[in-house]
A and B are shown apart, each in its own frame.
Chain A
Amino acid sequence: MFIIKCPYCGDRDHSEFSYGGEAHIVRPKQPTELSDDQWAEYLFMRKNIKGLQYERWNHAHGCRRWFNMGRDTSNDKIHSVYKMGEKPEK
């Protein structure tokens, strides 16, 4: 169980949020030109990192806004929270 700091609302219990999967997967600009392999890569293949992972979350039971988060999946510690469209801190 962990506390997530929503960039709009501040600290809230994680049960208010819903998980949106790996972040920074860009939708193909020209979908009609994609091969099956490229579609599979976009739709299904995931890094599934053990360690620091960048991911999307939605404050579903709060402000309902999407944002990004850097979290260590080996211990659930949150490293950073940043808005959509921003790049993670290095």
Chain B
Amino acid sequence: MKNKYSIFSLIKNSFSFHENWQRAWRDPKPKPSYDVVIIGGGGHGLATAYYLAKEHSLKNIAVVEKGWIGGGNTGRNTTIIRSNYLWDASAGLYDHALKIWENLSQELNYNVMFSQRGVMNLAHNLHDVRELKRRTHANRLNGIDCEWLTTKQVKEFCPIINCSANIRYPVMGSTLQRRAGTARHDAVAWGYARGADSMGVDIIQNCEVKGIKRKGDSVEGLETTQGFIKTSKIGVAASGHSSIIANMAGLKLPIESKPLQALVSEPIKPIINTVVMSNAVHAYVSQSDKGELVIGAGTDSYVSYTQKGTHEIVEGTLNAILELYPIFSRLRMLRQWGGVVDICPDASPIISKTSIKGLYFNCGWGTGGFKATPGSGHLFAHTIAKDEPHALNAAFNINRFVSGNLVDEHGAAAVAH
């Protein structure tokens, strides 16, 4: 059983100079067999294991991770959380996640630093205004909070935005979702890992999957760098590397993996109290609790697994940032990095069974998977445990690429994918 984190445990441990904290999770060797094995120890995979153990009472679960937990896209995103998607299916999915975020720190007894500072989506032309107003109405019909702000209200809510009518892409208004915000990405992985571990889930790091063993149309187990693991159910939450795992099982996915970049500035005093996103000029910015500006750039156009991107993508984003926020012109950038994101043709995820019995995929989150972490894990756990999708992820099945029932969020989500 895990010790509960509280003010008292903090005081108690301060007497021993914080050197005797209990390990947050074990470091086990793989057992010969498990009921369920999750491939991928990022937020989505760990959340899946957590909900499998908690809500479906499965006891014999492992998460295998080729590196260290939270070291992939969980540690590489810009931590934005929102649910203001246009289509009903997406609104249901992402708001399910947002509702879990709202109580996640209490549930996990781990501070995920969820901060509902609001997310703005700026409009820069008449088309943006119409699209974003339409989305505001669609969100409200789906019970999701969303407001339309005029240019004057934008200036009041976030004073550093350049609202001059003379800039190349003037700000003509904005949506605002007040329940949206950010969270601490590492803490989400660590909190779920600690919670899952306390219910007996084996989290096996430095364990790369090398092959999937099939018997006819069912899975039998997986070959890993730490030996063979027998299992009848495999849940794949491997983001950018999903196609590679699929290939091991003889499947093809409708996914392309591309580098997505982000960067942070040197830390400065609090200056931006919300998250501002702009699709038209492609500039996303928020400020971390350390004071760094966290800036999201775009994806490169080509398939690559390099975890880096090209310079002109960063340049384009910073051009837009500087036009919107002239005050940042002398700020220096500290770090830049890339993550490999798995993009579906309709920019919506896949949480689904496959044609192979016992093989489940949770992938295709593309550029926006972090926000969905708790909901994704919750619904994927349901899909694996019951061998059928939850009502909220039924639309996100893999057969939609055959039936044509796509959930096209390319433009609808009001972000560039």
Contacts and interface: CB of A to CB of B under 8 A. Distances in A.
A44 B398 CA distance: 11
Given A15-B310, A18-B301, A50-B305, A40 B255 contact: no
A53 B253 CA distance: 16
Interface in B222-255: 241, 243-244, 247, 252-255
Contact of B402 (A1, A19, A22, A36): A36
B256 interface: yes
Contacts of B311: 1
Interface string B288-332: 000000000000011111100011100000000000000000000
Contacts of A75: 306
A45 B304 contact: no
B353 to A, nearest CB: 16
B302 A45 contact: no
Contacts of B241: 50
B343 to A, nearest CB: 10
B211 interface: no
A73 interface: yes
Given A19-B301, A55-B302, A55-B303, A48 B312 contact: no
Interface in A25-47: 36-37, 39-41, 43-47
A53 B252 contact: no
B257 interface: yes
B306 A46 contact: no
A45 B306 contact: no
Given A1-B311, A40-B401, A50-B241, A45 B301 contact: no
A40 B304 CA distance: 23
A47 B252 contact: yes
Contacts of A36: 402-404
B345 interface: yes
Contacts of A43: 345, 401
Contact of A46 (B252, B302, B310): B252
A48 B402 contact: no
21 contacts: A1-B310, A19-B301, A19-B302, A19-B303, A37-B402, A39-B402, A43-B401, A45-B401, A46-B252, A46-B256, A47-B243, A47-B252, A48-B255, A48-B256, A48-B257, A50-B243, A50-B257, A50-B305, A73-B257, A73-B304, A75-B306
